Amino acid sequence: MTELLIVGAGGFGREVLTYAQDMELKVSGFLDENAGALQNFGLPVGVIGTLSEHRFAEGERVIVAVGDPLVRRKLARQVVAQGGQLFTLIHPTAYVARNALVEAGCIICPFAMVGAHSHVGWNTAINTYASVGHDARIGAHTVFSPYSVVNGHVTLGEAVFLGTHASVTPGKTVGLNSKISAGSVVSRTVEVGSLVSGNPAKGRVMFATQLDE
């Protein structure tokens, strides 16, 4: 039987445990540097060690439950480098079009929606009520906060962060490692490594424009 390990024992990790319980999946524990992260939550499983020290067993699958795209990227690559296999969690209340492609390690949270012919790159997290429009291309490690919306034919680069209620209008492109502030409306191309805010979203390059190898 598949046993899930959740990397990250913060708030998102506890949410992901709940989703796994909804789906009657077996979670064997959390991997986190903070051994005491789950004290006082009364959960049936706790932190069993760190990712760096974990030796993956046959049948174990991993979910990276962290909300920062660059941290997600680092941890997921570490899992793969250590021989771990990522699990794709799609909550039963989410809608995923039958012809959408959702790659390994994605988390599709309750009431999220992934539209027709879209492609969601590996290790992407799509939080509650967020949506990916038809034909959208979503780069790996990207994080959709609750209620964020990417319309049809949008392209997001790798490791993009969308704040809650952010929207990207049809066909627009957001460069890799960019952050879209909560509530912003992107109606123009966002350059790689930018932080943009407001409606229409404006900003400038603030972050790395290339990701480490």
Residues 6+ apart with CB under 8 A from 213: none
User: At closest approach, how far in Å is the CB of 145 from ligand COA?
Assistant: 4
Q: Determine, following the binding rule CB under 6 A, whether residue 82 of this chain makes contact with ligand COA.
A: no
Tell me which of 179, 186, 192, 194 binds ligand COA, using CB under 6 A. Answer: 179
Q: Determine, following the binding rule CB under 6 A, whether residue 197 of this chain makes contact with ligand COA.
A: yes
CA distance 43 to 47: 10
Q: Please, which of residues 60-79 interact with ligand COA by CB under 6 A? A: 67
Q: Determine, following the binding rule CB under 6 A, whether residue 146 of this chain makes contact with ligand COA.
A: yes
Check the CA dihedral 199-137-103-142 and report its sign: negative
Q: Determine, following the binding rule CB under 6 A, whether residue 115 of this chain makes contact with ligand COA.
A: no
User: At closest approach, how far in Å is the CB of 105 from ligand COA?
Assistant: 19
Q: Determine, following the binding rule CB under 6 A, whether residue 205 of this chain makes contact with ligand COA.
A: no
CA distance 127 to 91: 10
Residues 6+ apart with CB under 8 A from 158: 69, 73, 121, 139, 140, 141, 142, 176, 177, 211
Q: Determine, following the binding rule CB under 6 A, whether residue 185 of this chain makes contact with ligand COA.
A: no
Q: Where along the sequence are the contacts to ligand COA (CB under 6 A)?
A: 67, 127, 145-146, 163-164, 179, 181-184, 195, 197-198
